[in-house]
């Protein structure tokens, strides 16, 4: 199928109801011309016909336990020979949970598509087949095949299934390059909305790089092609009939399409599918850092001209950069040749990298840009490690005796971190610095969410160990004409974060 054929079809109103789609485009000569409009209605049937056979309906069933339990209604004790005996037997003894009927099946429907006809590989959403006991793949010609689960990835909501390719002649589609899609490009969705299989809808790419807070790697394609319940897991095609997205979510107050649907871009999904096919699981790269956004205030405090990159708030003990390669307070602005414009860019580009690969990472450390070499670990192993450790221990405790026991500064009262204050606030032994014992109401510190029991470990990327250190660092920053103080704070368990506080 050629893109010209698809575009010619899209230029015309292929149904009377689609006329509204072209109203806004009628002022764009390159899309709709008087000559094209005069040709009359056309269709996208040729494109759809070649794709329908590769799009499947996913039917799943899950066995759930019956309703017997403390909250269940017991069967009434009836006198022998009661005329109601048969009625209550049917209602109580034959319900789910009784002997001979220990469970009931809950069914759900979704969509998917074949990507390898020889191997029988089908791609869908993880949430379509999650917790399913039985999975069936229904083809457009009415054939149904049992499917086995190859692997799933909850972070991207992708699942890979396998059917017996000998049981049916399969038609496959291939992935395209979602990075080439532009806002305004035509797209086609095919799926199983509300159980109505083989449904074709057409629209455009409404937006790219959408973050809807559904996972750590959100980078959705937004489209106005109608996507409804049951479309999940189905393909979003470009004008060449290539899959550039996996339809996965909608925004709708009613449950029906309002023209805001989201698809996982093929650029992200393809790597996940390949790993699931090869290993049955994902094997993502891991840098071993905790990060947070670089705000304008933080950028100013770090001497950066613009707010960009990902601020390293902590380094995982035992991780790939626990050797001092990257430190808390560094700002990562480029990873393996790819720009990191904002915090959410970093997890995605790292995860897409190969485990064990040595990459160049460009950082800003104390206002100076430099490049470091890092060998990536595996995210799945790192998640276990990260859950059992308490953050970076790269701190200088200092060896001078404190000159004062407590001071008030920037709306906070800070004091020595000793056995007494550790016990009072439940602070872990690994945490070092100066403890915040009180935060004034309506102060700049309170506005930033700072709480008593947190520990100041650094100010302006220099360690503090005593209340006097805090006073000296704040005074030095004011002498330098700084408007903000950048504080590295540790929680009671050692989790790190950066906060800026206005000093005027």
Active-site residues, by number, are 127, 157, 232
Cα–Cα separations (whole angstroms), residue 320 to 323, 379, 386: 7, 10, 12
SS (H, E, C) 423-453: HHHCCCCCCCCEEEEEECCCCHHHHCCCCEC
Cβ contacts of 115 within 8 Å, gap of 6 or more: 121, 122, 123, 172, 173, 174, 175, 243, 273
Whether 364 and 333 have beta carbons less than 8 Å apart is answered as: yes
Question: Rounded to an integer, what distance in angstroms lies between the CA atom of residue 124 and that of residue 122?
Answer: 7
Whether 243 and 237 have beta carbons less than 8 Å apart is answered as: yes
Question: Rounded to an integer, what distance in angstroms lies between the CA atom of residue 98 and that of residue 86?
Answer: 16
Cβ contacts of 135 within 8 Å, gap of 6 or more: 58, 59, 60, 129, 146, 147, 148, 149, 161
Whether 111 and 56 have beta carbons less than 8 Å apart is answered as: yes
In three-state secondary structure terms, 457 is strand
Largest alpha-carbon pair distance within the chain? 98
Question: Rounded to an integer, what distance in angstroms lies between the CA atom of residue 147 and that of residue 435?
Answer: 58
Whether 168 and 145 have beta carbons less than 8 Å apart is answered as: yes
Whether 370 and 363 have beta carbons less than 8 Å apart is answered as: yes
Which tokens sit at 243?
Answer: 């899959």
Which tokens sit at 162?
Answer: 């396998």
Question: Rounded to an integer, what distance in angstroms lies between the CA atom of residue 490 and that of residue 127?
Answer: 37
Question: Rounded to an integer, what distance in angstroms lies between the CA atom of residue 284 and that of residue 272?
Answer: 9
In DSSP terms, which residues pair with 265 in a beta bridge?
A: 245
Which tokens sit at 237?
Answer: 């095609």
Question: Rounded to an integer, what distance in angstroms lies between the CA atom of residue 333 and that of residue 221?
Answer: 24
In DSSP terms, which residues pair with 134 in a beta bridge?
A: 61
Which tokens sit at 446?
Answer: 């309170």
List phi, psi (to 5°) of 6. Answer: -65, -45
Inter-helix orientation angle 45-52/3-11, to 10°: 130
């Amino acid at each position: 199928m050629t893109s010209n054929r698809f575009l010619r079809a899209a230029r015309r109103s292929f149904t009377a109801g689609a006329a509204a789609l072209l109203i806004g485009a009628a002022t764009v000569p390159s899309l709709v011309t008087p000559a094209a409009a005069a040709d009359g209605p056309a269709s996208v049937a040729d494109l759809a016909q070649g794709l329908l056979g590769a799009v499947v309906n996913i039917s799943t069933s899950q066995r759930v336990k019956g309703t017997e339990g403390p909250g269940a209604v017991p069967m009434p004790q009836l006198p022998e020979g009661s005329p109601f005996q048969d009625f209550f037997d049917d209602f109580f003894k034959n319900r789910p949970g009784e002997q001979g009927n220990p469970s009931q099946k809950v069914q759900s429907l979704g969509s998917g598509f074949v990507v390898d006809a020889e191997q029988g590989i089908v791609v869908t959403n993880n949430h379509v087949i999650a917790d399913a006991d039985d999975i069936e793949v229904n083809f457009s010609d009415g054939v149904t095949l049992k499917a086995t689960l190859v692997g799933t990835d909850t972070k991207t909501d992708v699942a890979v299934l396998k059917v017996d390719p000998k049981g049916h002649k399969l038609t496959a589609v291939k992935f395209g390059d979602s990075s080439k899609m532009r806002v305004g490009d035509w797209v086609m969705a095919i799926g199983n909305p509300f159980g109505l299989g083989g449904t074709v809808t057409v629209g455009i790419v409404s937006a790219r790089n959408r973050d809807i807070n559904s996972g750590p790697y959100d980078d959705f394609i937004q489209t106005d092609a109608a996507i409804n319940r049951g479309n999940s897991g189905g393909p979003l095609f470009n004008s060449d009939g290539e899959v550039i997205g996996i339809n996965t979510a909608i925004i709708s107050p009613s449950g029906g399409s309002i023209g805001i649907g989201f698809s996982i871009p093929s650029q992200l999904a393809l790597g996940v599918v390949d790993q699931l096919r090869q290993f049955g699981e994902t094997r993502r790269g891991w840098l071993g850092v905790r990060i947070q956004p670089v705000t304008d205030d933080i950028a100013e405090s770090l001497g950066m001209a613009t707010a960009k990159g990902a601020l390293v708030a902590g380094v995982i003990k035992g991780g790939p950069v626990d050797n001092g390669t990257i430190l808390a307070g560094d700002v990562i602005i480029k990873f393996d040749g790819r720009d990191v414009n904002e915090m959410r860019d970093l997890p995605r580009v790292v995860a897409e990298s190969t485990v064990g690969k040595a990459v160049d990472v460009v950082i800003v450390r104390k206002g100076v840009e430099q490049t470091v070499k890092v060998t990536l670990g595996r995210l799945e192993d790192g998640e276990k490690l990260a859950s059992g450790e308490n953050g970076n221990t790269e701190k200088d405790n200092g060896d001078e005796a404190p000159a004062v026991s407590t001071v008030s500064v920037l709306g906070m009262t800070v004091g020595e971190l000793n056995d007494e204050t550790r016990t009072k606030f439940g602070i872990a032994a690994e945490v070092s610095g100066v403890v915040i014992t009180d935060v004034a109401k309506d102060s700049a510190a309170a506005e930033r969410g700072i709480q008593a029991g947190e520990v100041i470990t650094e100010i302006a990327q220099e360690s503090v160990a005593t209340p006097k250190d805090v006073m000296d660092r704040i005074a030095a920053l004011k002498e330098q004409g700084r408007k903000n103080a950048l504080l590295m704070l540790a929680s009671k368990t050692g989790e790190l974060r950066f906060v800026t506080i206005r000093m005027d």
